[in-house]
Amino acid sequence: MLQERATISDTPLPTEAQDIPVPAAFASIRLGDTQYTVGEDVEGGLHFTAAAGGNWKALTHTLEDGWHDIGAEILVATRDALHDYLRMHLIRLTQGSLAEAPQRFDIMGFEWELRRDEDGTVAIRLPLHDWRAVKVTGTFDTDREFAIAAFAAARPDLSKSMAEDVLSWAKRLAAGAVVMPVM
């Protein structure tokens, strides 16, 4: 799992609602297989919580922004959206496994290579750069998950540089949201 979430500098992540009365629930939003409750506080601010309960978190978007923006904000706030985005968009361009030969990958037109040397060193080659070692920690079930972790390790700015792409992707996912009134 990637450590940072994709955010846009002028769109902060929701924060835990503190010292406010419990918002009045007025809508339920289903994003994929997860249900959330949306409520409004006495000042008109929106908040959300998992439908199963938990702490309310403030939203920066309003009803005037629309449910796509509200849904996208909830998606980015409740999961590792950058990792999910990379997992969905990563394409392997070569056959075989990483243990056998270097692998080429593509993320939305950005091609790069990854290899594991005999001594266990992991190296990555980004466009217009030579091979360089990267430190990848953790255990991974697939070469795909390993490649995502290596790509993130090689690009410390990844969260910022891909923030707009991740937010646009989250809005596209949120377009499929189902919103129902809470009665």
Residue 16 included in any domain: no
Q: What is the pLDDT of residue 7?
A: 38
Q: Say if residues 80 and 4 touch (Cβ distance below 8 Å).
A: no
Looking at residue 51, its pLDDT comes to 79
2 found inside a domain: no
Average pLDDT over residues 29-36: 95
Q: Is residue 5 part of a domain?
A: no
Please report the DSSP string for 20-32 in residue order.
Answer: SPPPEEEEEEEET
First to last CA, the chain: 37
**Same domain membership, residue 167 and residue 134:** no
Flag whether pLDDT at 13 surpasses 80: no
pLDDT digit string, tens, across residues 76-85: 999 999 999 9
Question: What is the model's pTM?
Answer: 0.79
Q: Is the pLDDT of residue 68 over 60?
A: yes
- The answer to whether residues 63 and 123 belong to one domain is no
Residues 75 and 101 in one domain: no
pLDDT for 29: 97
The helix or strand, by DSSP H or E, that contains position 44, with its residue range, turns out to be none
Three-class secondary structure of residue 167 per DSSP = helix
Kindly state whether residues 29 and 65 are assigned to the same domain.
yes
Q: What is the mean pLDDT of the chain?
A: 88
Range of 140's domain? 84-161
Q: How many structural domains does the chain have?
A: 2
Residues 124 and 168 reside in one and the same domain:
no
Q: Are 156 and 95 members of one domain?
A: yes
* Element at 94 (helix H, strand E): none
Is 6 contained in some domain? Answer: no
Residues 76-97, mean pLDDT to the nearest whole number:
94
Task: For residues 123 and 153, state if they share a domain.
Answer: yes
Q: How confident is the model at residue 121 (pLDDT cuts 50, 70, 90)?
A: confident
Contacts of 64 (CB under 8 A, 6+ apart): none
Tell me: do 89 and 112 sit in the same domain: yes
One domain for residues 111 and 174? no
Residues 90 and 113 both lie in one domain: yes
Residue 10 lies in a domain: no
Please tell me the predicted confidence (pLDDT) of residue 3: 41
| Residue 18 pLDDT class (50, 70, 90 cuts) | low
Same-domain check for residues 155 and 107? yes
What is the C-alpha separation between 13 and 71, in angstroms, rounded? 13
Half-sphere exposure at residue 102, Cβ-oriented, CA atoms within 13 angstroms: 13
Does 113 score more than 50 pLDDT?
yes
Indicate if 148 and 167 belong to the same structural domain. Answer: no
